[in-house]
Amino acid sequence: MHNNFTGRDPVAIIMFLTEFANICDELEITEPEAYLALLNFIDGDAYISYRTAVKSSSGSGRTVSSWPSAVVYLLKHYATNNAITEALQDSRIVALRRSETEEQYHSRFVQ
């Protein structure tokens, strides 16, 4: 994995989960194993928030107790309508410069 998810860029959860799931698939990691491993790839405020959600779901009304529920929780918590709308607006501002390659544009765009 390139980076752990911190929550600083909320929309990055989409790429993070995609990359995490792809790696798990490649390594034949099961959903229960992925659910348990996920905490090792989340840092900062995102770690605290997610860890709290996992701990609070240990009772009878479990909400984050499996890989699918973890994905739903993270997407609902970070990929909100406001976060996605803001990311789209920001992306419309960034334009390919005449002198730069697509790779350079991509590098500048994802920063």
How do residues 12-28 score in pLDDT, each as one tens digit? 899 999 999 999 999 99
- Is the confidence at residue 47, as pLDDT, over 70? yes
Quote the domain boundaries for residue 54.
Answer: 12-79
Residue 2 counted as domain residue: no
Residue 59 counted as domain residue: yes
- Is the confidence at residue 86, as pLDDT, over 60? yes
Q: Which pLDDT tens digit goes with each residue over 88-105?
A: 777 666 777 788 888 887
Would you state the pLDDT for residue 111? 64
Would you state the pLDDT for residue 11? 84
Counting every residue written for the chain, the total comes to 111
Residue 96 counted as domain residue: no
Query: 32-70 b/e with 16+ CB inside 10 Å = b?
Result: eebbeebeebbeeebbebbeebbeebeeeeeebeebebb
Residue 60 counted as domain residue: yes
Mean pLDDT of the chain: 84
Residue 5 counted as domain residue: no
Residue 99 counted as domain residue: no
Residue 4 counted as domain residue: no
Better-predicted residue by pLDDT, 10 or 93: 10
Domain count across the chain: 1
Residue 41 counted as domain residue: yes
Q: How far is CA 101 from CA 34, 63, 109, in A?
A: 37, 45, 12
Better-predicted residue by pLDDT, 80 or 70: 70
> Would you say the pTM of this structure is higher than 0.75?
no
